[in-house]
Each structure stands twice: as C-alpha cells, then as structure tokens.
Amino acid sequence: MYLKHFGLAEYPFGLTPDTGYFFPGSGTQAALNTLLVALDAGEGLIKIVGEVGSGKTLLCRYLLNQLDGDTWAPAYVPNPHLTPAALHQALLGELGGELKRSLDYGFTKALENRLLELARGGRRAVALIDEAQAMPLETLEALRLITNLETEKRKLLQIVLFGQPELDARLADPAVRQIRSRIVFHDRLAPLTPAETPIYLAHRINQAGGAASLFEPAAARKLHAQSRGTPRLLNVLAHKALLLAFGEGSPRVAPRHVRLAGRDTPGARLLLWERWLPA
C-alpha cells in the first residue's frame, strides 16, 4: 500500500513479534537485565509480567535468540494451557529428548533423564513459558516439582514465566503458594515513556528502510497520548496514521492523521473534544 510512497522496504508496524524490531526501552531493558542476571546466577524460577501488548512475547523471543547454543539448551512453550503430562512432553521435545522412547517409562522420568544428559554435557536447560497466566493450577504445581531437580551445584532446569497481570492473581492462590515462594527474580514491563515514543517510532521506521522524520513531532506526541506507551496499540495507530497520510499524498504523518486513526481504534485514548472534530 504505502511502502513506495514513504520509501519503505517493509511495513514497520506489524503486530508479529519480529526480533529485528526489538527496541530496548527503559522498561524492556530493565526486564532483560533482570533476566540475564537471574539466568547467569542459576536461579530456578523467574517471572516477567506485563499488560496486554506490552511486548512480553517479543522480549521472550529476543532472549531466546541471545542464548548461546553451546551453553544453553532452550525450550520455548508459547501456549502452556496444558496438563502436567503434556507440559512434560512439550519440554522434553523442545529439549531434544526422544519422545518415542519416553513412552516406555513416562514423560516425567524421560524429562529428568534428558536434563541430566544436558548437565553432563555442560549445557544449561532453560524453559521460556509465554502466556503463563493460562497455565492450570495443577500444571503450575508440576513446574514446582521440576524445579526440585538439581545437582549439587545448580538447578537442572531454569524456568522463565512471561504473563499478563492475571499471572500474579493465579500465583496468589494458596494451592500454588510453594511455587510463588520460589520466584527470586521478577520484573514488570513498563510502557514507553513520552521521550521514548518518538525514538521507538524512528527505530522501527529505520529498520524498515525509511526516514526517521516520517512522523511530525506533534504526531509522535499524540501517538503516545493515545496509546499510553503500549507498543502494540502504538503500532496499530502508527500503521493507520501512515495509511491516512498516504491517502492524502502527504510526505509525513501529521497530528490530524493520528487523531483520525484513534477514532477507528478500540482502546485509543482520545480527548472528548477530539471525537467530534470533523475529519
């Protein structure tokens, strides 16, 4: 649609968590630092919480790409709404265990054996579990039992939980109080600040091959106000604003384009008087 008009090689504000567009804002960088310190320290259980659209999945995949394969054996579980047995099976498969052979004596024992194999080979196993707020309580309890597996030196499997704030409510259940007590490192993803939003926009435009000045400063400020710094909502609004500017033949996105984009976007914060301005 508007790629040629704005000199872009690809769409800069897609909703797919593309690690090539990872932006180290202050909130995201703080969470990443927490993760790196916790993993290096060998802590068994780590938690990252963020609102819908705050960039949890992108952070999770970015961390996954940073783990050196010679040192780490990562397991990525994008949908953990699983029974304990299914979770053990998923982890075993992700960690390179033999699923067919494990049928003889159960996935739990097979997972333990695979973790021991990795430890003997000098590799550290880590499970990155996205959307962790969807985990049934019995599966959370199964995770706690996995964290009991350890050598004399360290845990056999480190676990990182990425979830919405509902994860905290789930962990507050008395039935899983033991796993809650084992979370040593945790962080909460903060939204982009007003100062970071124009830098974020320029970063994504640059990554897509365009000019950083594509958004007028006032348009960037309005984008932040409407999105409250939430990356996913910001991406939706920026994409629609670019479409509107393209439709007018404008070389840059102006505040009016952002205002009109906000009218068409659920969740965007508009001032009352802006809702009734003519298009």
Q: Are residues 32 and 163 in the same domain?
A: yes
Q: Determine the structural domain holding residue 125 and report its residue range.
A: 26-188
Residue 10 neighbours by CB distance under 10 Å: 13
Number of domains in the chain: 2
Rounded to two decimals, the pTM is 0.91
Q: Record the tokens describing residue 181, joined without a space.
A: 């007590």
**Per-residue buried b or exposed e for 239-272, using 16+ beta carbons within 10 Å of the residue's own CB:** bbbbbbbbeeebeebbbbbbbbbbeebeebebee
The last residue of a domain, from among 156, 188, 220: 188
The last residue of a domain, from among 188, 214, 247: 188
Model pLDDT, residue 274: 54
The last residue of a domain, from among 152, 169, 188: 188
Q: What is the CATH number of the domain that holds 99?
A: 3.40.50.300
Q: Residues 58-91: pLDDT tens digits?
A: 999 999 999 998 999 999 999 999 999 899 999 9
Model pLDDT, residue 273: 45
Model pLDDT, residue 28: 95
Q: Are residues 71 and 181 in the same domain?
A: yes
Model pLDDT, residue 51: 94
Q: Are residues 86 and 106 in the same domain?
A: yes
Q: What pLDDT tens digit does each residue of the chain (279 aa) get?
A: 899 999 999 999 999 999 999 999 999 999 999 999 999 988 789 999 999 999 999 999 999 999 998 999 999 999 999 999 899 999 999 999 877 665 555 788 889 999 999 999 999 999 999 999 999 999 998 888 888 887 767 889 999 999 999 999 999 999 888 888 889 899 999 999 999 999 999 999 999 999 888 999 999 999 999 999 999 999 999 999 999 999 999 999 999 999 999 998 988 887 644 554 555
Q: Are residues 204 and 181 in the same domain?
A: no
Q: Are residues 176 and 202 in the same domain?
A: no
Q: What's the Rg (C-alpha) of the chain?
A: 22
Q: Are residues 204 and 98 in the same domain?
A: no
Q: Could you tell me if residue 199 is inside a domain?
A: yes
